[in-house]
């Protein structure tokens, strides 16, 4: 089937099998490998991207469902050479170790901050419960999001 | 020297630049032209004979390129997956290590064990093919319980009573005498729950064979690519060592589970050679649950003897350790040399005796998981000590303090074969008591009670042994590999530096920490140092990263190489400054001739090394590049005090961590930011074990009930508190950096602190772990 | 995931027609349960009939009968709504942000997972389910494990929730999956109390003993002694039937406390 989507401000029209997932389009067809796959059950959040402005798990969206959508991935949030404030805050606060959950975590965190008024640390913890991190114990991730929301 | 980027500075990480922009390069991000995809057919049974496998339907599946069974690997003389540490039983006999063909041939011994593999042009076609395989299994009775394994049906022909070994350490008679004379004995039966590692990146492998050269390249998620290469070449026989290159690119967490050599990468690299096409496999999460070596799973009876003064006089421990169906790569060492040897803890207990039976069950293999043996030892010791304090009605901090090895007693030889080089346990405990405001606990407890909640406080004063060493001792105790580390420093013509380490970073931030070391030592900009790791084609050798060894062993190796660079630099500088190398000093990035006070910058010397216009070549070789192999004299012994405070809702059984304080002594700290991060992550895993995580097999079917994130409770952000972490410093006495290692401490110390807090809140001696809501609820109502 | 034929439906009738023309067709709403299940090859539809392209199936509006929520309304939209705070709160506890950005109320109800949250709201608030064929009283919608009153091919178009005088939802989440081990929606319509329970049994049900006790005396004391027969309750590694039985009381009490404090 043909799907047309805009990824990081670039239009793509692709011919893919019906059972293709959005995550597969990004990784396998567009070589945007910053979107990661960490589970099969839509729990871990490593694959989170924005679709039409909202964070979604790209491993649980069919290519067909993304037809016509605007998709933003981790590769598309920096403004040229200038990092997104959330990326900057993650680096500043040592909010990542192995880096595998990081793209999904950052994409979730951006949506969380954009969709809410000023968040408390506890609200950030609750708001990130769709993303697993096995390295950081989340402590520095919470710090990073608190810092980023001041900049966003 | 402490500068903005030197030793002791919280330098922001170099590697983050690629990770936060999605440019990390993990194994599954790599694709090769004409690559195929491999899917395994896995056993649905815990224990079954394979009476036949019909591969024809799979071979006929569209897109399938090839289908193989264990017999095909055996026909190519692919060997068993070995266990690399020989442990001997009490009677001196060798441990029993059952045959472990990478792909099961006659029999499957746990749910998820691979028995065939399908390679196809697309992942979907490979899955279709794997589904089409028809195997005829004859189901056998399975053994699933650690406690009852020795009386279950025998799994391996050569392992009667499903026992691999029956090991002991310590003086049994002296310990028994201590118990005979004890004023008080505290006893506990402890089950240390099985954990599933769950690095967020699942394991993956991509194999490539170049028929023109006969070279194999294996990209894989390994914590120690050289060990992977050694085992695959020397024992498993997939390729000659010199023809096999193992590349471990960015790796998304390991926690021990990516140390080992598994069936999957073995099959991938073998099949790549067989087919002459690249072969790729990436574990689905379910495969990771079923097949990544699990952690812990001990059943223990432990007793502590105490005299009239509250001094510990004896410790007696008897443990059954579940190995799973096979001995994984380092499995045998975990409940022995990494467990029994740690049972002295921070205390002067003079008599210790431990016996460990390693048993087989029809479950996934159990091997090192963050802490590996040391969390289990700490849990035994610290649960006993806390319980003793309660039984004796003593302040648990005071009882510990009374029994601490005093600071002036180092080096201290324990009754369980270790010599601690240094430590000061009292100052860590004092700091933790202060940070946790233990003095104010009773008023917080009253406040909780007024809200119908229960509040508890728990301590854990742990010791760990990091940087497993020295090679000589470890090899004499059965280790199959050395325990040194390699380093190479190449100074470029322009003075920039490439540091190549045998350590491997899968989150630890070596590209930053090691660059700090080099930049600090050479007085050159941090940005000028590149750290290379994870490629057997680029570094000579290396033992990789596990057991919190990177800074203590890998960092020390780099320092040795750096010393050699400076020595060579002095020769060059002496020549250029018309001085004598003995008169040349090196400091702050400059070589200075003491006699003339003339000096050259590090970069100038580097340039000269490669533009040796007038070198006396018979005395001075051009170039500036050095290698070192560092073999430590001893383990390092990080230690610390953890204090956990919990609040429990007795109506729902929900336990909240009200605060968690960790004060650790890691010796000198190179990058405090990274060290704190390591502690945070370890704490999360230790707390996870205490409250959430539990790998559970169905007692009847042997299926892994916790085979996905829908059932295995991973710690999420809102399960955990903000942590309070701090450090004290007694520098390690036997490595050049005075460092001890920090990767596992959080996971080692925290579990006992949480369980001590939960039992304190509930007013009970003991309860099962994890302290899930239902368990807590039942205990709270006295059921 | 196996291959299938994907159809964009233009109207409810069109969707229904596509379904009846398919072999083993399934409707696709948010896909939050269906897609993972297809990925694991546990579900293998020949045709997926996508409802997201149908205009008018999503959205929240006030009607004389209460709050009407279109079947394709995402959980995040319900959680941001203000008319029934307890319903918004329930929606905010479903899955995680990403699930709430995709999952729909119609999909959740049609699937009728025993641990889903919305069924507690349907029973606890006395909702009516609208389909392309009829209106179904919420009380007679949930029939058993993943079993509803929907006929083959019938499509939920909207749900109407009467606006209660007061209502609260309390949830005890599964620590792993975040589904409800037990969830309790307690409402006071002004003319009676309803208590809808999810998570405990094969499907959601009304806890009549609690309703009658609270009808007499809306207080925690009135319900603290109620014994629940847990013999048919769900059992898993996270909660025994007995614990689920206990949690019903605990969650109803939490909801009542929210409404009385």
Residues B285 and B317 in one domain: no
Write the DSSP assignment of B71-117 as a string of letters. HHHHHTT--PPPP-B--B-TTSPBPP-----SS-SSEE-STT-EEEE
**Looking at residue A104, which CATH number applies to its domain?**
1.10.150.120
Give the neighbours of chain A: at least 3 Cβ pairs within 8 Å. Answer: B, C
Average pLDDT over residues B755-761: 98
Question: If you average pLDDT over every residue of chain B, what do you get?
Answer: 96
A80 found inside a domain: no
Q: Does C46 touch chain A (CB under 8 A)?
A: no
Chain B residues in contact with chain C using a Cβ-Cβ cutoff of 8 Å: 124, 127, 131, 286, 651-653, 692, 694, 696, 705-706, 709-714, 719, 772-774, 777-778
Reply yes or no on whether the pLDDT at B132 is more than 90. yes
Residues A103 and A49 in one domain: no
Write the DSSP assignment of B420-474 as a string of letters. E----HHHHHHHHHHHTTGGGHHHHHHHHHHTT-EEEEEEEEEE--BS---HHHH
Separation of alpha carbons A38 and B171, rounded Å: 48
Task: Give the one of A1, A55, A65 whose C-beta lies nearest to C52's C-beta.
Answer: A65
Which of A75, A93, A115 finishes a domain?
A75
Interface test with A, best of C22, C39, C42, C97 (most A CBs within 10 A): C97
Average pLDDT over residues B745-749: 97
Domains held by chain A: number: 2
A124 found inside a domain: yes
Residues B560 and B692 in one domain: no
User: Phi and psi for B495 in degrees, rounded to 5?
Assistant: 95, -5
Q: Which two tokens stand for residue B777?
A: 């609820």
Residue C123: per-residue pLDDT: 98
Residues A60 and A106 in one domain: no
Which of B261, B291, B321 finishes a domain?
B291
Residues B369 and B452 in one domain: yes
Q: Hey, are the CB atoms on C250 and B713 less than 8 Å from each other?
A: no
* Cβ contacts of B507 on chain A, cutoff 8 Å: 97-99, 135
Separation of alpha carbons B485 and B632, rounded Å: 9
**Structural domain boundaries enclosing B319:** 295-468+634-780
Instruction: Kindly provide the ipTM of the predicted complex, given to two decimals.
Output: 0.98
Reply yes or no on whether the pLDDT at B1 is more than 50. no
What percent of chain B shows pLDDT beyond 70?
100
- Residue B177's CB is within 10 A of a number of other CB atoms, namely 15
Task: Give the one of C6, C95, C177 whose C-beta lies nearest to A64's C-beta.
Answer: C6
Residues B650 and B738 in one domain: yes
Residues B504 and B395 in one domain: no
Residue A70: per-residue pLDDT: 98
What percent of chain A shows pLDDT beyond 70?
100
Residues of chain C with pLDDT under 50: none
**Looking at residue B642, which CATH number applies to its domain?**
3.30.365.10
Average pLDDT over residues B622-628: 96
Residues A41 and A89 in one domain: no
Nearest-Cα distance to chain A for B20, in Å, is: 6
Q: Based on the number of CB atoms within 10 Å of its own CB, is B760 exposed (0-12), middle (13-18) or buried (19 or more)?
A: buried
Residues A6 and A32 in one domain: yes
Reply yes or no on whether the pLDDT at B113 is more than 60. yes
Residues A62 and A119 in one domain: no
Residue B330: per-residue pLDDT: 95
**Looking at residue B65, which CATH number applies to its domain?**
3.90.1170.50
| pLDDT confidence bin for B523, thresholds 50/70/90 | very high
Residues A91 and A45 in one domain: no
Q: What is the pLDDT of residues B642-660, one digit of tens each?
A: 999 999 999 999 999 999 9
Spatial CA neighbour of C187 closest among C174, C196, C199, C179? C196
Residues A71 and A127 in one domain: no
Q: What is the pLDDT of residues C82-91, one digit of tens each?
A: 999 999 999 9
Q: Based on the number of CB atoms within 10 Å of its own CB, is B483 exposed (0-12), middle (13-18) or buried (19 or more)?
A: buried
Task: Give the one of C177, C236, C250 whose C-beta lies nearest to B652's C-beta.
Answer: C250
How far CA A82 is from CA of A79, A112, B185, in Å, comes to 5, 21, 64
Residues B405 and B431 in one domain: yes
Task: Go through A61-81 and write b for each residue having 16 or more CB atoms within 10 A of its CB, e for each that does not.
Answer: bbbbbbbebebbbbbbbeeee
Domains held by chain B: number: 3
Spatial CA neighbour of C57 closest among C71, C43, C41, C78? C71
- Residue B450's CB is within 10 A of a number of other CB atoms, namely 8
Spatial CA neighbour of A99 closest among B203, B505, B689? B505
Angle, alpha carbons A18-A39-B334 (nearest 5°): 150
A127 found inside a domain: yes
Q: Based on the number of CB atoms within 10 Å of its own CB, is A86 exposed (0-12), middle (13-18) or buried (19 or more)?
A: buried
Write the DSSP assignment of B581-613 as a string of letters. GGGEEEETTEEEETTT--EEEHHHHHHHHHS-T
The architecture of the domain spanning C60-161 is 2-Layer Sandwich (3.30)
Residues B273 and B307 in one domain: no
Average pLDDT over residues B257-286: 97
* Cβ contacts of B285 on chain A, cutoff 8 Å: 38-41, 44
Closest residue, chain A, to B719 (C-alpha): A125
Residues A71 and A20 in one domain: yes
Nearest-Cα distance to chain C for A76, in Å, is: 19
Q: Does C240 touch chain B (CB under 8 A)?
A: yes
Q: What is the pLDDT of residues C116-139, one digit of tens each?
A: 999 999 999 999 999 999 999 999
Which of B273, B291, B309 finishes a domain?
B291
B11 found inside a domain: no
What residues 31-90 of chain A have any CB closer than 8 A to a CB of chain B?
32-41, 43-44, 46, 73-75, 78, 83, 87, 90
Residues A92 and A51 in one domain: no
Beta bridge partners of B169: B354
| pLDDT confidence bin for B547, thresholds 50/70/90 | confident
Reply yes or no on whether the pLDDT at B411 is more than 60. yes
- What is the Cα C34 distance to its own chain's centre? 16
Q: Which two tokens stand for residue B406?
A: 């005093």
Separation of alpha carbons B147 and B322, rounded Å: 9
B110 found inside a domain: yes
Residues B397 and B521 in one domain: no
| pLDDT confidence bin for B783, thresholds 50/70/90 | low
Nearest-Cα distance to chain C for B703, in Å, is: 13
Residue in the structure block whose two tokens are 């560092």: B630
Note whether B231 and B241 are within 8 A (CB).
Answer: no
B151 found inside a domain: no
Closest residue, chain C, to B128 (C-alpha): C2
Residues A33 and A95 in one domain: no
Reply yes or no on whether the pLDDT at B554 is more than 50. yes
3-state secondary structure of C215: helix
Spatial CA neighbour of B654 closest among B453, B459, B457, B449? B453
Closest residue, chain B, to A79 (C-alpha): B21
Beta bridge partners of B210: B215
Q: Which two tokens stand for residue B487?
A: 């380093």
Note the maximum CA span of chain A.
Answer: 45
Q: What is the pLDDT of residues B416-457, one digit of tens each?
A: 999 999 999 999 999 999 999 999 999 999 999 999 999 999
Which of B563, B597, B630 finishes a domain?
B630
Separation of alpha carbons B550 and C127, rounded Å: 61
Separation of alpha carbons B61 and B55, rounded Å: 10
Residues A69 and A11 in one domain: yes
* Cβ contacts of A19 on chain B, cutoff 8 Å: 124
Residue B2: per-residue pLDDT: 52
Residues A92 and A68 in one domain: no
Each domain of chain C, given as residue ranges in start order, spans: 5-50, 60-161, 166-260
Q: Does A129 touch chain C (CB under 8 A)?
A: yes
Closest residue, chain C, to B705 (C-alpha): C237
Spatial CA neighbour of B477 closest among B91, B163, B165, B88? B88
Q: What is the pLDDT of residues A59-91, one digit of tens each?
A: 999 999 999 999 999 999 999 889 999 999 999
Which of A21, A52, A75 finishes a domain?
A75
Separation of alpha carbons B634 and B109, rounded Å: 39
What class has domain C166-260? alpha beta
Nearest-Cα distance to chain C for B778, in Å, is: 9
**Looking at residue A17, which CATH number applies to its domain?**
3.10.20.30
Q: Hey, are the CB atoms on A46 and B200 less than 8 Å from each other?
A: yes
- Lowest mean pLDDT of B540-549, B603-612, B622-631, name the range: B540-549
B748 found inside a domain: yes
Q: Hey, are the CB atoms on B774 and C176 less than 8 Å from each other?
A: no
Q: Hey, are the CB atoms on B124 and C237 less than 8 Å from each other?
A: no
Residue B474: per-residue pLDDT: 85
Q: Hey, are the CB atoms on A111 and C38 less than 8 Å from each other?
A: no
B104 found inside a domain: yes
3-state secondary structure of B54: strand
- What is the Cα B468 distance to its own chain's centre? 11
**Structural domain boundaries enclosing A59:** 2-75
Q: What is the pLDDT of residues B583-593, one digit of tens each?
A: 999 999 999 99
Q: What is the pLDDT of residues B169-192, one digit of tens each?
A: 999 999 999 999 999 999 999 999
What class has domain C5-50? alpha beta
What is the reported pTM? 0.97
């Amino acid at each position: 089937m043909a799907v047309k989507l805009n990824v990081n401000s670039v239009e793509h029209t692709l011919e893919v099998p019906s059972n293709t997932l959005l995550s597969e389009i990004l990784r396998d067809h567009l070589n945007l490998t910053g979107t990661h796959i960490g589970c099969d059950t839509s729990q871990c959040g490593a694959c989170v991207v924005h679709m039409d402005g909202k964070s979604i798990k790209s491993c649980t969206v069919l290519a067909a469902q993304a037809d016509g959508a605007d998709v933003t991935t981790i590769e598309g949030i920096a403004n040229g050479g200038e990092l997104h404030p959330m990326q900057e805050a993650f680096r500043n606060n040592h909010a990542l170790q192995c880096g595998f959950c990081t793209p999904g975590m950052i994409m979730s965190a951006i949506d969380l901050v954009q969709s809410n008024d000023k968040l408390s640390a506890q609200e950030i913890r609750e708001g990130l419960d769709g993303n697993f991190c096995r390295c950081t114990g989340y402590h520095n991730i919470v710090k990073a999001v608190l810092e980023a929301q001041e900049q966003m | 020297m402490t500068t903005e980027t030197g030793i002791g500075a919280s330098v922001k990480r170099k590697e983050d630049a690629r990770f936060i922009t999605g440019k990390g390069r993990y194994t599954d991000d790599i694709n090769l032209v004409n690559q195929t995809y491999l899917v395994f057919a896995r056993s649905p049974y815990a224990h079954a004979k394979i009476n036949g496998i019909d591969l024809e339907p799979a071979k006929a599946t569209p897109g399938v390129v090839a289908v193989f069974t264990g017999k095909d690997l055996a026909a190519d003389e692919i060997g068993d997956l070995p266990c690399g540490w020989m442990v001997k039983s009490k009677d001196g006999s060798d441990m029993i290590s059952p045959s472990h063909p990478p792909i099961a041939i006659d029999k499957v011994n746990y749910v998820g064990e691979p028995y065939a593999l399908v390679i196809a042009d697309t992942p979907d076609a490979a899955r279709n093919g794997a589904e089409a395989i028809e195997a005829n299994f004859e189901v056998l009775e399975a053994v699933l319980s650690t406690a009852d394994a020795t009386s279950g049906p025998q799994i391996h022909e050569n392992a009667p009573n499903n026992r691999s070994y029956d090991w002991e350490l310590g003086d049994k008679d002296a310990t028994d005498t201590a118990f005979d004379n004890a004023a008080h004995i505290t006893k506990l039966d402890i089950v240390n729950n099985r954990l599933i590692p769950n690095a967020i990146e699942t394991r993956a492998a991509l194999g490539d064979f170049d028929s023109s050269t006969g070279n194999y390249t294996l990209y894989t998620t390994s914590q120690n690519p050289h060990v992977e290469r050694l085992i695959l070449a020397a024992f498993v026989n997939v390729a000659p060592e010199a023809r096999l290159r193992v590349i471990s690119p960015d790796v998304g967490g390991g926690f021990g589970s990516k140390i080992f050599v598994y069936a999957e990468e073995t099959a991938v690299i073998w099949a790549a050679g067989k087919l002459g096409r690249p072969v790729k496999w990436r574990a689905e999460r379910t495969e990771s649950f079923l097949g990544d070596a699990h952690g812990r799973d001990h059943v223990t009876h432990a007793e502590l003897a105490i005299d009239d003064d509250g001094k510990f006089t004896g410790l007696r421990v008897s443990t059954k350790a579940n190995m799973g169906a096979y001995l994984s790569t380092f499995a045998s060492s975990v409940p022995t040399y990494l467990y029994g040897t740690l049972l002295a803890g921070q205390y002067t207990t003079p008599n210790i005796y431990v016996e460990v039976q390693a048993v087989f069950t029809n479950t996934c293999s159990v091997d090192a998981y963050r802490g590996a043996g040391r969390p289990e030892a700490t849990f035994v010791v610290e649960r006993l000590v806390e319980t003793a304090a309660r039984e004796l009605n003593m302040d648990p901090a005071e009882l510990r303090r009374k029994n601490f090895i005093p600071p002036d007693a180092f080096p201290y030889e324990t009754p369980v074969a270790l010599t601690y080089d240094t430590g000061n346990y009292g100052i860590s405990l004092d700091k933790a008591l202060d940070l946790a405001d233990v003095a104010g606990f009773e008023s917080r407890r009253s406040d909780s009670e007024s809200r119908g909640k229960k509040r508890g406080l728990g301590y854990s004063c742990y010791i760990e042994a990091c940087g497993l060493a020295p090679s000589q001792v470890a090899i004499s105790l059965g280790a199959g590999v050395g325990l040194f580390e390699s380093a190479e420093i190449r100074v470029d013509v322009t003075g920039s530096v490439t540091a190549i380490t045998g350590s491997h970073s899968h989150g630890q931030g070596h590209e930053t920490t090691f660059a700090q070391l080099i930049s600090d030592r050479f007085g050159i900009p941090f940005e000028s140092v590149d750290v290379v790791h994870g490629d057997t084609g680029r570094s000579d050798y290396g033992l990789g990263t596990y057991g919190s060894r990177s800074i203590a062993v890998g960092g020390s190796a780099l320092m040795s190489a750096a010393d050699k660079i400076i020595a060579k630099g002095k020769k060059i500088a002496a020549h250029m400054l018309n001085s004598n190398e003995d008169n040349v000093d090196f400091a702050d990035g400059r070589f200075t001739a003491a006699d003339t006070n003339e000096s050259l910058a590090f970069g100038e010397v580097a340039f000269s090394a490669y533009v040796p216009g007038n070198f006396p070549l018979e005395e001075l070789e051009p170039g500036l590049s050095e290698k070192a192999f560092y073999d430590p004299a001893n383990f390092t012994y990080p230690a610390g005090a953890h204090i956990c405070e919990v609040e429990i809702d007795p109506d729902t059984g929900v336990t909240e961590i009200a605060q968690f304080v960790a004060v650790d002594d890691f010796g000198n700290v190179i990058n405090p930011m990274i060290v704190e991060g390591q502690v945070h992550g370890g704490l999360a895993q230790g707390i996870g074990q205490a409250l959430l995580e539990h790998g559970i097999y169905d007692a009847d079917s042997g299926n892994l009930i916790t085979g996905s994130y829908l059932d295995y409770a991973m710690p999420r952000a809102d399960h955990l508190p903000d942590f309070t972490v701090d450090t004290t410093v007694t520098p390690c006495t036997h490595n050049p950096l005075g460092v001890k290692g920090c990767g596992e401490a959080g996971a080692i110390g925290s579990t006992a602190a949480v369980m001590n807090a939960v039992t304190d809140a509930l007013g009970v001696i003991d309860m099962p772990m994890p302290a899930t809501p239902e368990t807590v609820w039942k205990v709270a109502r006295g059921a | 995931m196996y291959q299938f034929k994907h159809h964009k439906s233009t109207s409810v009738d069109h969707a229904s027609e596509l379904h009846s023309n398919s072999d083993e067709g399934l409707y696709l709403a948010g896909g939050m349960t269906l897609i993972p299940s297809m990925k694991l090859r546990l579900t293998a539809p020949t045709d997926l009939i996508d409802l997201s392209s149908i205009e008018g199936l999503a959205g929240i509006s006030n009607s004389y009968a209460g709050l009407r929520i279109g079947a394709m309304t995402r959980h995040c939209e319900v959680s941001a709504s203000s008319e029934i705070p307890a319903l918004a709160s329930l929606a905010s506890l479903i899955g995680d942000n990403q699930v709430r950005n995709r999952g729909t109320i119609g999909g959740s109800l049609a699937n009728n997972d025993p641990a889903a949250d919305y069924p507690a709201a349907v029973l606890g608030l006395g909702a009516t389910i609208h389909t392309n064929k009829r209106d179904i009283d919420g009380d007679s919608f949930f029939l058993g494990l993943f079993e509803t009153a929907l006929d083959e091919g019938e499509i939920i178009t909207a749900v109407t929730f009467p606006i209660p005088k007061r209502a609260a939802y309390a949830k005890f989440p599964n620590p792993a999956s975040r589904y409800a081990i037990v969830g309790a929606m307690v409402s006071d319509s002004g003319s009676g109390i309803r208590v809808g329970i999810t998570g405990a049994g094969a499907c959601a049900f009304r806890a009549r003993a609690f309703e009658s006790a609270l009808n007499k005396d809306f207080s925690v004391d009135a319900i603290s002694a109620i014994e629940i027969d847990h013999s048919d309750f769900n059992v898993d590694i996270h909660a025994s039937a007995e614990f689920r039985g206990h949690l019903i009381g605990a969650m109803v009490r939490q909801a009542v406390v929210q409404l009385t404090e």
